[in-house]
């Protein structure tokens, strides 16, 4: 079996923290050939797709063979694990991966769903599970919503890792000017949500594999901040799922499975769904470190189980 990982440049990856590396190591342990490429290495000639890729040995990190052209239909599975932003290059890569998909290759996550499930807007499909939320460009609408909800959080729709997320206090001065700025003078929509004080106790990242919760961590903000993202200094803690969180996973499961979203990370604050991360969800290393659960091995095992059906 061969698996291809479409990634950011290898030189920029920290193997001690990176979930893609954990998956690559688990695949290698399962005697699967592991190959890597960047989105810019994908190509199509007619109705056949190819790639300029390298075979690698990920453990110890990392032995890389010389790259060469290989047809994408030579791979049993392709992991699209390029980090956001979901820009033109990312979108075109998903279209090229669809050529391979038409040739029978399994692409994770499904390219069409990567385009359709914006990591902020995708959660709106389950708005009944979320805090009060508005997505809009018009300043007066956002101001009215903020006044009604009191303290709110502003999230850019293309952001990642907590970047650009702003907490706005009730009755804050300069709100109109701030909204003009974040909406680029009412040209771009932004997400506004009621602030959940429970975030100060942690934001739970739950990893779902084929619709099932496989592991979770609680991420606590660093002192003086409300953003719990690990990239911004949040601290990972061991945790267990509450009854409410299991119910959220159960409600999401059918849609995730039906739309080919095999590996997903959801964020839950105080029993409310915040985001559904589908591009390159993180957290494997932290879960494995805190719980001793071989999560990456379990993900690859689940994938192989699906192949054998």
pLDDT value of position 228: 67
Whether pLDDT at 16 is above 80: yes
pLDDT tens readout for residues 150-161: 999 999 998 766
Q: How far apart are CA 252 and CA 276, in angstroms?
A: 10
pLDDT value of position 232: 63
- Taken as a whole, the chain contains a residue count of 309
Whether pLDDT at 221 is above 90: no
Whether pLDDT at 254 is above 90: yes
Measured in whole angstroms, how far is the alpha carbon of residue 14 from the centre of its chain?
A: 17
Known catalytic residue at 55: no
Query: The tokens of 48 are what?
Result: 């056949």
pLDDT averaged over the chain? 93
pLDDT value of position 46: 87
pLDDT tens readout for residues 118-148: 988 999 999 999 999 999 999 999 999 999 9
Known catalytic residue at 277: yes
Active-site choice (81, 82, 110, 205) = 205
pLDDT value of position 227: 74
Active-site choice (277, 285, 286, 288) = 277
Active-site choice (155, 194, 204, 285) = 155
Active-site choice (275, 285, 286, 288) = 275
Where does residue 67 rank: exposed (0-12), middle (13-18), buried (19+ CB within 10 A)?
A: middle
pLDDT tens readout for residues 41-74: 999 998 899 999 999 999 999 999 999 999 999 9
Known catalytic residue at 2: no
pLDDT tens readout for residues 269-302: 999 999 999 999 999 999 999 999 999 999 999 9
Known catalytic residue at 102: no
pLDDT value of position 234: 77
pLDDT over 70 percentage in the chain: 97
Known catalytic residue at 198: no
Active-site choice (227, 245, 285, 288) = 227
Active-site choice (245, 267, 286, 288) = 267
Active-site choice (82, 120, 204, 285) = 120
């Amino acid at each position: 079996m061969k698996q291809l990982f479409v990634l950011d440049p290898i030189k920029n990856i920290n193997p001690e923290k990176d979930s893609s590396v954990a998956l690559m190591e688990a695949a290698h342990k399962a005697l699967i050939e592991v190959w890597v490429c960047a989105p810019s290495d994908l190509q199509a000639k007619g109705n056949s797709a190819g790639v300029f890729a390298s075979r690698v040995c990920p453990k110890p990190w990392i032995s890389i063979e010389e790259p060469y052209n290989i047809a994408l239909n030579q791979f049993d599975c392709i992991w699209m694990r390029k980090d956001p932003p979901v820009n033109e290059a990312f979108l075109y890569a998903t279209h090229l991966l669809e050529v391979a998909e038409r040739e029978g290759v399994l692409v994770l996550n499904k390219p069409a769903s990567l385009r359709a499930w914006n990591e902020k807007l995708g959660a709106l499909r389950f708005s009944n599970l979320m805090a009060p939320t508005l997505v809009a460009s018009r300043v007066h609408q956002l101001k009215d919503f903020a006044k009604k909800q009191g303290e709110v959080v502003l999230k850019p729709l293309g952001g990642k890792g907590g970047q650009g997320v702003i907490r706005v206090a009730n009755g804050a001065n300069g709100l109109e000017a701030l909204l003009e700025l974040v909406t680029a003078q009412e040209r771009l929509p932004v997400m506004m949500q009621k602030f959940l004080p429970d975030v100060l106790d942690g934001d739970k990242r739950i990893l779902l594999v084929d619709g099932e919760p496989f592991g979770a961590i609680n991420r606590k903000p660093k002192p003086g901040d409300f953003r719990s993202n690990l990239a911004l200094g949040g601290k990972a803690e061991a945790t267990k799922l509450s009854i409410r969180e299991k119910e959220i996973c159960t409600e999401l499961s059918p849609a995730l499975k039906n739309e080919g979203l095999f590996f997903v990370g959801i964020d839950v604050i105080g029993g409310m769904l915040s985001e559904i991360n589908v591009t390159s969800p993180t957290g494997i290393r932290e879960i494995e470190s805190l719980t001793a659960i071989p999560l990456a091995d379990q993900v690859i095992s689940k994938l192989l189980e699906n192949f054998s059906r």
